[in-house]
Amino acid sequence: MSATIAVLPGDYIGPEIMQAGLAVLKAAAAATNFDYQLKAYPFGGAAIDATGEPLPATTLKGAQAADAILLAAIGGPKWDHATQRPEAGLLAIRKALGLFANIRPTQVLPALVPRSPLKDNIVSGTDFVIVRELTSGIYFGEPRELAADHAIDTMVYQASEIERILRAGFELAQTRRNHVTVVDKANVLATSKLWRQIAAQVASDYPTVTVDYEYVDAAAMKIIQQPTHFDVIITENLFGDILSDEAATITGSLGTIPSESRGISGPSLYEPIHGSAPDIAGTGKADPLSMINSVILMLRNSFQAQATADKIAHAVAATLAAGIMTPDLGGTATTESMTSAIIEQIKTKEAMS
């Protein structure tokens, strides 16, 4: 049976990088006999324009029925003042599919060390993962209110929600370097105090894992000062959102970082961590690597298609090593020429093997 992949291209650079990711998938699948079928659905601003809603029922149904979901990016100025916002669709699909664990890797490839805004000796060897809680906290808490003279957002966490994300992070650490950093604001926030209490209990089930606790402000500093200190960072929804853009930037560009959002069961959703980059849409400057790396993650984690994933990963590394990259990394390639170069690498390797 072939794998069914739900495809949600979204807005602005979304369709541009999705096209790149799918072209690379096609080439690698052909080279390794990976069998799949795509089903595309409107989502985000494009879906608001087509149906009035950012997450139409058919899109949600299609996503639920798929084996994995690929999403590019949604949102942008066109809908910033609309009654319905594309971002509401993103939060709704995460919630509806129960995708509570968002895995955001921060890895600095050797070819990109000189592209980092940090000094080589600080950034070299950086390899950590942010495990971001994705379906609770201040993004979803009630009450939520916006009036002329006041506004309310509420950060709520159930103990069960904290425990399951901590366990996801500890399990991941066991497959890596056995080091967890719990990031919170336990000197101020009640939710963070509860995180620390539960983290201490969960940690006792993972005796091989070393745990440290950092306040989020200090963690933001340390990510820049000593990024190699980290292995797995576990944190709540909003802190994870902010720290992951910061962490992405030290790898050279936000435009290369993928993510997986997973639940207890059902399909995972794979997406770049960045947004729809309206400032560069239509210019050919969008870095396709975040989407291509999301395809690699999907192949590995949802389909155990290691050979297909390796094929793409090697082609990406070879392309970067040849100095071919988009302007966000200091290169002159376009979205299309970068994608063609990667496909060329896949085909050359195929001819040689």
| Smallest separation, CB 335 to ligand IPM (Å) | 20
By the rule CB under 6 A, 11 interacts with ligand IPM = no
Q: Are 42 and 34 in contact (CB under 8 A)?
A: no
How far is Cα 72 from Cα 6, in angstroms, rounded to an integer?
A: 11
Sign of CA dihedral 238, 114, 301, 25: positive
**List 67, 241, 260, 328, residue binding Mn ion (CB under 5 A):** 241
State which residue, 184 or 287, has the beta carbon closest to ligand NAD. Answer: 287
By the rule CB under 6 A, 254 interacts with ligand NAD = yes
Q: Which of residues 237-266 bind ligand IPM (CB under 6 A)?
A: 241
Of the candidate spans 22-30, 141-149, 169-177, 279-287, the one that interacts with ligand NAD by CB under 6 A turns out to be 279-287
Binding-site sequence positions: 94, 104, 132, 217, 241, 245
By the rule CB under 6 A, 76 interacts with ligand NAD = yes
By the rule CB under 6 A, 182 interacts with ligand IPM = no
| Smallest separation, CB 314 to Mn ion (Å) | 29
State which residue, 32 or 335, has the beta carbon closest to ligand NAD. Answer: 335
Q: Which residues contact 218 (CB under 8 A, 6 or more apart)?
A: none
Site map 311..340 versus ligand NAD, x via CB under 6 A: -----------------x------------
**How big is the CA angle at 309 (ends 303 and 313), to the nearest 5 degrees?**
155
By the rule CB under 6 A, 90 interacts with ligand IPM = yes
Q: Which residues are known catalytic residues?
A: 139, 185, 217, 241, 245
By the rule CB under 6 A, 55 interacts with ligand NAD = no
Of the candidate spans 53-61, 89-97, 233-241, 334-342, the one that interacts with Mn ion by CB under 5 A turns out to be 233-241
Query: Which residue, 272, 318, 269, is CA-closest to 291?
Result: 272
- Which residues contact ligand NAD by CB under 6 A? 17, 73-76, 87, 90, 254-255, 271, 274-280, 286-287, 290, 328
Binding site for ligand IPM (CB under 6 A): 75, 87, 90-91, 241, 273, 275
